[in-house]
Amino acid sequence: MLDFLILYKKFAHDNGVTVSVSHLSALLKSTNFSYCICDYEDDESLYRRVLEKTARVIILEAPTFQRPVLEDILAIGCEVNLVIHSTISFLQVEEEAFDKIQCFLQFSSPNFTVSNPCLYEVEGFRSYAKVPVLYFPNTLNVQFPGIFDDVVKARIENRKKSKVWRIGLFCAYRPFKNITTQLTACSIVNTKYNIPIEVHLFEESRNPIYKNIRTLSKNLKFNIIFHPQCKNEKFLSLLRNMDIGMQVSYSETFSYVMGEHMMFGTPTISSSTVPFASRIAEFNNAESIAKEIAILCDDTSYSKYVSEAVQKIDAVRKNNNIDAMTCLNKLLERSKTHYGKC
């Protein structure tokens, strides 16, 4: 019997859920837990996966299924944990997901819990949920790029070779990612502070926000480079060439892109939703964001922020692993009280 069966819905591209699952897998490999990670395409294949594997705990990554299949899975008798990867703010613009979560939070099955990777979101959900809500942080368990001093040196040397400041603004084209405000901030940096910059984003041609960004880019006086969507491995190679990482969004559970930037010693700018970022700006204030970019573009202090970036994200990695293990052990302990097929 497996300790954990982890299930996620298969999509065409990597997303926050699939990246989170890959990092969790890396953590589990370092433990004595037995586990299996499977993808599924629809509710029927999800239930089939559950029947194929016998596990003490079933972890469902994101509410990408309907209520009847959850009820069928709960009836088996195993401990079931649903991981909500979104904040309540993001969920409100995803009508179907919002309705599902509000429904699932009112379940009273003794073998069901919900979890979220953001501690203050956990407290919020707990305030009106009937089901236990657990803190299950996202983990960051890829191979770090090298020894601390070498990473810092490589980042600084790479910066010296560039005549412009390359800013990575890699995120999904969704309203709460706040891309237009951040690009406006970059325009202020370029014109008011006279700093040469180059902004890098992803392409997403069918998205209306992407089209708005393309329209805005025609009026901007600095270079914008759009990269095709890619797997996370290739994305990490792309991040190596960035001088600054930026994601000043309205809300986040955990920003992998900020963490991955910082692994390479790249200083970052975010809102208060990413407290480990190098600099924190007001998400609704382009001038505030611009000031933080200008601070990081100071050559004399850049090396300090590079060193801090590596130290900060290493501390986050270690703390999140500890808290994730606490949650996994709690789920296993809960499973001992259930009876049934498992």
CA–CA separation, 245 vs 227, rounded Å? 15
Task: Identify residue 141 by its one-letter amino acid code.
Answer: N
DSSP E strand boundaries for 21-142 = 35-40, 55-61, 79-83, 112-116, 133-135
The closest alpha carbon to 261, from 304, 295, 309, 294, belongs to 309
- Under the banding of pLDDT at 50, 70 and 90, the label for residue 92 is confident
Q: Which residues are CB-neighbours of 115 under 8 A, at least 6 positions away?
A: 81, 82, 83, 84, 122, 133, 134, 135, 136, 327
| pLDDT above 70 (res 256) | yes
Task: Identify residue 324 by its one-letter amino acid code.
Answer: A
CA–CA separation, 44 vs 27, rounded Å? 29
Residue 144 is predicted with a pLDDT of 75
Assign residue 18 a region (left: φ > 0; alpha: ψ between -120 and 50; beta: otherwise): alpha
Residue 143 is predicted with a pLDDT of 75
Mean pLDDT for all residues in the chain: 94
Q: pLDDT digit string (tens) for 129-169?
A: 999 999 999 999 877 777 888 999 999 999 999 999 999 99
The closest alpha carbon to 113, from 157, 153, 83, 70, belongs to 83
| pLDDT above 80 (res 342) | no
Helix (H, G, I), strand (E, B) or coil at 95: helix
Task: Identify residue 302 by its one-letter amino acid code.
Answer: Y
Residue 142 is predicted with a pLDDT of 79
Residue 339 is predicted with a pLDDT of 53
CA–CA separation, 241 vs 229, rounded Å? 17
Q: What is the mean pLDDT of residues 1-6?
A: 96
| pLDDT above 70 (res 210) | yes
**Lookup: tokens for 188:** 């202020």
Least confident of 43-47, 229-233, 236-240: 229-233
Q: What is the mean pLDDT of residues 191-196?
A: 97
Return the H-helix or E-strand segment holding 244: strand 244-247
Residue 337 is predicted with a pLDDT of 86
**Lookup: tokens for 18:** 């699939």
CA–CA separation, 175 vs 265, rounded Å? 28
| pLDDT above 70 (res 178) | yes
More confident residue, 146 or 77: 77
Residue 95 is predicted with a pLDDT of 74
121 burial type by CB count under 10 A (0-12 exposed, 13-18 middle, 19+ buried): buried
Q: pLDDT digit string (tens) for 260-273?
A: 999 999 999 999 99
Query: Percent of the chain, pLDDT > 70?
Result: 99
- Under the banding of pLDDT at 50, 70 and 90, the label for residue 15 is confident
Q: pLDDT digit string (tens) for 95-131?
A: 789 999 999 999 989 999 999 999 999 999 999 999 9
Q: What is the DSSP letter of 332?
A: H
| pLDDT above 60 (res 340) | no
Contact 260, 305 (CB under 8 A): no
Angle at 268 between CA 231 and CA 302, to 5 degrees: 125
β-pairing, 165-168 with 79-83?
A: unpaired
